[in-house]
Every structure is written in structure tokens, then in C-alpha cells.
Amino acid sequence: MSRRPTIADLAKKAGVSVATVDRVLNGRHPVREETARRVYETASAIGYHAAALIHQRITADLPKMDFAFLLQKESQPFYQAFARAIQEAAESTAGIRVRADIQFVKSQTPAEVAERLQTMAHRVQAIAATSLDHHLVTQVVQTLRAEGKPVFSLLSDFAQGVRESYLGLNNLKVGRTAAWLISRTAPRPGKVAIFVGSHRWHGHELRETGFRSYFREYAPQFEILETLVNLETRQVTYEATLNLLDRHPDIAGFYVAGGGMEGAIAALREEKPNPLPSVVVNELTPDSTAALQDHIITAAIATPLPLLCRSLIDLMANAVRTGPSETPGQLFLPPSLHVPESI
């Protein structure tokens, strides 16, 4: 069994004296916030037993802000990673003490999202969510805005004009990037397909628009098939991919514009089409990483979650301090592109 890190280990790793760590732990004398935060981050990294106490000490006198986060599909690795990144960003934000209330919807229905937003708003000062774009959601966001509760849309935009800001990738460009990749890596010109979760996901609609516009403009030798709706589920995507490969054995490539890529990867492994179509998916997860390493898929276009979450916490705090902005904004983040040889 490995030895538990000691206060001396923590001091050495953090580049401070044992006395400084002691002051942070016991709050006897003031320590610069930058130094105290470095001690806490080091304590968390090495698994020091009093890391939680250190965090409590360094945030005790800071102004407190309560934020809520509503995400999709709790069991999916991507959303689990998203929740961790939110919590880490909340704990590492300087100057304020952030309490992050992270919840997950049980379904993707607009009615549930609207109801959850209303319920969460009673306990917090700002909300960020992933959601379908629907009038029920927009109405709630508009009401919350009037009450001084800003709402931020994440990954896929919703409630345009009344939400505070959108944070995520430029989905139109993501769709064009996927099309560019497929047009350059497909085994031959031919038929290509795109999966979307639902026509209510604004981000998926933009990705489909970008995907189709690129092929029309630069690769007209490819034939784009009718859009496939997979409800962002593994099983539906698996069955739809098997059906796609059966009906179009000469398929040149396809793009999974939302969730459910695990089903597509499973179908490709099972069918082993020869040659393999060029396949692009979203987000780097254990499934997509393994598929890249095995050269089952061509690329994964990923959201930089740590950067998104740090930027989000800062924007939420600013909105609480200054009030909702007169002009709703958007923050496009640079996508991360992963290919087999980059993993």
C-alpha cells in the first residue's frame, strides 16, 4: 500500500515551506490567495487528506455565489466528464466561492427541461444548461431573465434572444469540418450520411447545414443521403448504422453529429465493411478513443471542456455582479481534433 502524502510532501510539491502550509490549514496568519490556492491545488493533485479543509479555509471569507447546471444523460462518459470539469472550474475560480449544483435530466423532453429550470432557479443566482430549442424552454428562460436570473446555453443553443450567452463550438463550422475530413479521407467518392439527435437540437441543425453546404460547394461528387435521426441513443444508432451499411454497402462516409456514436462504432466493428467508410464523431470518450486507436473511425471533433467551464463560471459570476446584458452574446471555443495518430 502506498504511503499517504504528508504535510512535508505537500509543501515540497507546492514549492512552499511547511509553515506556510500550516498557516493555510489553520488560518492563523494571512497567506496570499495565489499561494493558498497553489497549496490547495497541489493537495488535491497528490491526494492529501486535508485538501477539503484547505479549500474551506481559503474560501471562507470570499463572496459566495450559487450556480446551477442542467446536463443531459448522466450515464454517458461525456456528460460525466462535463460534470467533473464544471466542479473543478468552480473550485478553482479565484475571488469567489462557487457552489455548483449539477443535475441531469431524466429525459430530453422540453417540458422536463422547462420544469427543472424553474425549480433550480429558486436556489441559485444563475443557470447553465444543455437543452433542445423549444418554445416551452424559451418561455421559462424569458421569465427567469425578467427575474434577474441569467440562463446560459451550452453546446447547442436555445432561447436565442433571451438567454444570456451561448458557450460551445461554432456548430456550423464543425459540420463543415466533418465534411472536409470525410471528403479528403473517404475510400472513394460516393454516398455520405449524417446522424442528428433531433431536429430540435439547434446545434445539430447547424452541423447538418454546414455539412451539406461544404459538400455542395467543394465536393459535389459525393451524394448526401437523407438525414438520419438517432435520438442520441446507442441502440437506435447501432440499428440505423447496420441498416445504412446493408442498404448502401458502398457508403463512402458518415458523420454522427450528436450522441449515440457508441452504436455506430459497435455496428462497424460487427460488420467490418471493406473498405471502411470515413466516419467522424463528436467528443473524445473511451469508446471513440478505442475506435480511433483501432482505425475504426477517422476523427473525433471534441469540445475543450476545461476551457468551456472556466469561461462559463467567469461569465456567470460577471452576470450576477452586473445583471443580465442588454445584448445576448455567444462564445465560440476552438474545437479539438483527434485522429488515430494523435491518440
- What's the confidence (pLDDT) of residue 28? 62
pLDDT of 1 strictly over 60: no
Kindly report, residue by residue over 287-302, the tens digit of the pLDDT.
999 999 999 999 999 9
Q: Within 13 Å, how many C-alpha atoms sit on residue 160's CB side? A: 7
- Show Cβ contacts of residue 109 under 8 Å, excluding neighbours closer than 6 positions: none
Kindly report, residue by residue over 131-169, the tens digit of the pLDDT.
999 999 999 999 999 999 999 999 999 999 999 999 999
Pairing of strands 126-129, 165-168: unpaired
**Euclidean distance between CA atoms 43 and 51, whole angstroms:** 5
- Show Cβ contacts of residue 14 under 8 Å, excluding neighbours closer than 6 positions: 21, 38, 39, 42, 43
Kindly report, residue by residue over 170-200, the tens digit of the pLDDT.
999 999 999 999 999 999 999 999 999 998 9
Residues written for the chain? 343
Single-letter residue type at 164: E
Nearest to 291 by CA among 324, 267, 315, 316: 267
**Euclidean distance between CA atoms 210 and 216, whole angstroms:** 10
Domains (ranges, CATH) in the chain? 7-59 (no CATH), 64-168+304-333 (3.40.50.2300), 171-302 (3.40.50.2300)
What number is the average pLDDT over the span 47-63? 77
- C-beta atoms surrounding 157 within 10 Å: 22
Do 210 and 179 touch, CB atoms closer than 8 A?
yes
Is the backbone of residue 260 left (phi > 0), alpha (psi -120 to 50) or beta? left
Task: Note the pTM of the prediction, 2 decimals.
Answer: 0.84
